[in-house]
Structure 1
């Protein structure tokens, strides 16, 4: 098995070929269930992954995620805030996308670090100004990439690929349908 950046190159190529041959193989549905824990607190657990139209029963791990808000934002600061989870989701997706695309191009990474910031204007959340969106106004990502045998231009091309192919970034920059129902 040949790996670059701890990515199995053959598995990556096989996955790409399988999805090209059968687009259904590239469809995945993630799930999560959460329960309110008083105040601004939520405890959630990951659920079943459906991949290629099949429930993935081999994924036995269930992860618990807790969220809260900082005291300054009405919470009790007992867990990560939802905004920090959003930044983590983007950072994690950038990591997957950067490592995989670098590996597929034979670019060996010595390491990389991400610094993220997101700005929110609470007037939108609180409903005090109808012209202000309740969501984050801007997210800034600063990548520090160590790719010793790669030119700055190649790293810039890699970052452009990350921006183009990151599913979480795409979700953030393009409208996505969110359907809310009452059970």
Structure 2
């Protein structure tokens, strides 16, 4: 049985590391998600998300202030969940690679935003700030810094990503 540190399978991580080293530091991957906006009721949007082991149908609503039903989580809830869960896993991985066994690792996210530009044609920034508070049972400031650099979701929100939006039908 493989050793697990911070719920990270060290054998699998080692195998991935070996593949990365053999490929000049690269291990490319892709994610594809298809979703649909619904014109009646809640959820307003659904998408099928797949893991290695299962498929999940996720739903989202806009909050009441944007005319939505407010029943399902909002798209920004999913954004925060994605960033926080990615960062949490990255922290666990970075700590495990250093042999640090954590007993407590909690995250609280705070997103500050302005709905004005969503409703009106305004040029104000929509997202003002995302702050993440981390609680751990030991000092992991060094691991947190390494994780900020290594987390794909943090990278995505901190760096412009080439984005193409086109109507296909």
Say whether the fold is shared (TM-score over 0.5). yes
Q: Which residue of 2 aligns with 1:56?
A: none
| Correspondence 1:141 to 2:132 | yes
Instruction: Give 1:72-83 correspondences, 5 Å limit.
Output: 72-83=65-76
Q: What is the deviation of 1:73?
A: 2.7
Q: What is the deviation of 1:172?
A: 0.3
| Correspondence 1:3 to 2:9 | no
Unaligned runs of at least 5 residues, structure 1:
50-58
Unaligned runs of at least 5 residues, structure 2:
none
1:29 counterpart SS class: coil
Stretches (4+) displaced over 4 A: none
Asked if the contact 2:66/2:119 (under 8 Å) is kept, the reply is: no
Q: What is the deviation of 1:88?
A: 0.2
Q: Which residue of 2 aligns with 1:179?
A: 164
Q: 2:141 aligns with which of 147, 156, 165?
A: 156
2:89 counterpart SS class: helix
How many residues of Structure 1 are paired with residues of Structure 2 in the alignment? 165
Q: Which residue of 1 aligns with 2:113?
A: 120
Instruction: Give 1:40-119 correspondences, 5 Å limit.
Output: 41-46=44-49, 59=52, 61-119=54-112
Q: Which residue of 2 aligns with 1:13?
A: 14
Quick one: structure 1 residues 26 and 81, their matched pair in 2 at CA, closer, same or farther if it must change by over 3 Å? same
Q: What is the deviation of 1:128?
A: 4.2
Quick one: structure 1 residues 128 and 182, their matched pair in 2 at CA, closer, same or farther if it must change by over 3 Å? closer
The two structures have a TM-score, normalised by structure 1, of 0.83
Alpha-carbon distance in structure 1 between the residues aligned to 2:66 and 2:99: 45
